[in-house]
Structure 1
């Protein structure tokens, strides 16, 4: 039994409520509230799954983290569903000369590209949009991330998540007037959390809606004759 449990733990197929080996290797997400919920930040050199609708400002969640790197390495975007804003990346302090955008012809090619970018050591972060992965494919990506000391952020949507993957961290994002509504579905060494609001208005005030007072009454507007 102990041998079986050790095998499952070593292959990240089960999680303990509390991590038995002390603090995990994390790096600040750039948001104090999120770091508190994650007990330090995003796990480094691993796979992070994000369930998010497209176009709700989901990339803003990653920008403060992606701009943190000790030595210049590539930031790779694989199969983004739309055009990336160079102005947004530049304003976040990301060197556009270190940004690579790939549009593979198939899901298989996207997985191959992600694995090569991760394990090459030339990338510090890979952001990929993908429809469906199997566990054995995820394991290859996890090993590649550890080998190349890079992080993989995997965007998927709820309609396409059919299999729960043994990732280091799984987040769910939903839109919110002040930024994003975040739920931690699971994280290694911890439990799922209740949803909370990640206020991004101080980072991007022009994209935040003005808060509506709770006691504001609805008054009908008279129609002009």
Structure 2
């Protein structure tokens, strides 16, 4: 039994409660609530598994971090198999250089995985965003190694993923829509426990895409009936 446990530990398939070391190198997400929950921000390299529906603000959540990474380097930002039309005007208004954005639409999911791996390990890309529903543990490990080799951040989008399938990634999050932005739940994090859901307020950055928060001290009285 001890030999089996040692083998699982060596393959990073067993997490121990005394391993509470935070991720050493992180970058701010651009949102204070998220930075606090992640103890600094997104990892500088590796894989982030994101469970999110399309069009609820998942890209807006990443924009500040992607802009900061692009300003630090002239490497490419890559979108692979995106299920929506990429809005260049939005990225330009957010301060991203369109000259350093690459969009790839592979014909098959297999081609999408191959493209992501090649981009990650090339060293030419600072971030690679991939939409892919089915991912095996072995495939996730290849992407993780490729991201480490190319010093890149890989953001994997999967909606309604199977909770029983835990991938070997640096970070896993579940996103849900919220009136003031997004509800975020950290479902997996290296060196930490899963957290309860919390809200990321986007009203300052995106006022037209969020609902106005009503004052808490306003009490609505029942209307009296006029006979």
Same fold (TM over 0.5): yes
Supply the distance in 1 between the matched residues of 2:23 and 2:171 (Cα, whole angstroms).
15
SS in 2 for 1:171: strand
Aligned position for 1:223 = none
Q: Residues 85 and 9 from structure 1, CA distance in 2 versus in 1: closer, same or farther, beyond 3 angstroms?
A: farther
Alpha-carbon separation, structure 2, partners of 1:159 and 1:22: 26
Deviations 1:187-222 (CA, angstroms, capped at 9, x unpaired)? 0100010100000111111211112356654979xx
Structure 2: 5+ residue runs without aligned partners?
none
Q: CA deviation at 1:176?
A: 0.6
Q: Is 1:126 paired with 2:128?
A: yes
Instruction: Please give the alpha-carbon distance, in whole angstroms, between the structure 2 residues aligned to 1:185 and 1:144.
Output: 23
CA distance in 2, matches of 1:86, 1:119: 25
Q: TM-score, normalised by structure 2?
A: 0.88
Structure 1 residues 218 and 95, CA, compared in 2 at 3 Å: closer, same or farther? Answer: farther
Question: Which of 185, 188, 193 is 2:187 aligned to?
Answer: 185
- How many Å separate the matches in 2 of 1:45 and 1:10? 21
Match of 2:154, SS state, is strand
Q: TM-score, normalised by structure 1?
A: 0.89
RMSD: 2.2
- Maintained 8 Å contact 2:133/2:161: no
The 5 A counterparts of 1:55-204 are 55-69=55-69, 70-158=72-160, 163-204=165-206
| Structure 1 equivalent of residue 44 of structure 2 | 44
Q: Which moved more, 1:20-29 or 1:149-158?
A: 20-29
Gaps in structure 1 of 5+ consecutive residues: 221-225
